[in-house]
Amino acid sequence: MNRVNDTTPEGFILLGFSDSPRLEITLFVLVSIFYMITLVGNITIILLSHIDSHLQTPMYFFLTQLSFLDLCFTTSCIPQMLVNLWGPDKTISYLGCAAQLYIFLGLGAAECVLLLVMAFDRYIAVCRPLHYAVIMHPRLCKKLVFMVWVSGIFGTLVQSPTTMKLPFCHHHKVDDFVCEVPALIRLACGDTHVNELQISVIGAIFLMVPLLLILVSYGYITQAVLAIQSQEGRSKAFRTCSSHLMVVFLFYCSVTAVYIQPRSYFSQKGGKFLTLFYTVVTPTLNPLIYTLRNKDMKGALNRLFRKDRKTSKE
């Protein structure tokens, strides 16, 4: 029987993929590449949305928030993940683990709410286009973004303190490469029923409810798009909405699989790969999906390059 540490531990050991050194080297290279793409892609979206007047709309205001969230979200865990994958040192201090957990969980909760807000924005744009400018005025957009960040703070303050107070086993070996709630719950040697119930409730609030509302909104959007007479109008609406829906499914499905049942067999065996997906892959795909599939963003890039060429010629 594992012994419980009654005192606050000095630190934890993030096992990651330490049993597969070759896999760690491969992952180090891949994660580094993905992280650089994430940084460049999201910073580009933020800069373009502020520079180009054509992109100063509610949709791109929310997209800028998503890019900023993804930058913070990935930076809160990927540098530590790269250190973990690079060498034999797998340790992280208790305070470092707690800080990572608070930031990681708060930003993740905020992103769940932000994706719902973006779905609401698309619903108004497609289903009530004549009233869009009146409804989605700057004041409402700022209030919605404020709600997003407050939701993130609420989510992390509810879950993180109780997780860090768990009676952790004496070996302090976390079977993951980041400090996240499911992995820390599995490290506990005492009773975790309250924590599991808590994470299920928080998961329902921040994952299941937003996902359900997003699907309902896209049901109405689909009806409205099919009613559009112009083929070009239908295609443009489907392109814009399908990119957002793709982001939604990639993020929600992977996070739900890990968080809803933290002690399940699937979460334990596939949790690390799913964590890799929503911490590394999804934030990288977000800017690629929005820039490669969006004419407005590609147009802004072209205008910026043309402006640079004119400036250099002069």
Please check the confidence at residue 2 and state whether its pLDDT lies above 80: no
CA nearest to 283, candidates 242, 240, 254: 254
Mean pLDDT within 211-233: 84
Confidence of residue 8 (pLDDT cuts 50, 70, 90): low
Report domain extents, the chain. Answer: 11-306
Mean pLDDT within 25-53: 90
pLDDT digits (tens, 9 = 90+) for 252-289: 888 887 887 666 555 565 677 888 888 898 898 888 87
- According to the model, what pLDDT value does residue 152 have? 93
- According to the model, what pLDDT value does residue 1 have? 44
Which range of 87-91, 185-189, 225-229, 308-312 scores highest in mean pLDDT? It is: 185-189
- Which region among 83-92, 142-151, 160-169 has the lowest average model confidence (pLDDT)? 83-92
Architecture of domain 11-306: Up-down Bundle (1.20)
Model pTM?
0.87
Confidence of residue 66 (pLDDT cuts 50, 70, 90): very high
Q: Tell me if 284 sits within 8 A of 32, measured CB to CB.
A: no
Please check the confidence at residue 34 and state whether its pLDDT lies above 90: yes
- According to the model, what pLDDT value does residue 248 have? 84
Please check the confidence at residue 214 and state whether its pLDDT lies above 50: yes
Please check the confidence at residue 241 and state whether its pLDDT lies above 80: no
In whole numbers, what is the pLDDT of the chain averaged over residues? 84
Please check the confidence at residue 242 and state whether its pLDDT lies above 80: no
pLDDT digits (tens, 9 = 90+) for 98-133: 999 999 999 999 999 999 999 999 899 888 888 998
- According to the model, what pLDDT value does residue 90 have? 85
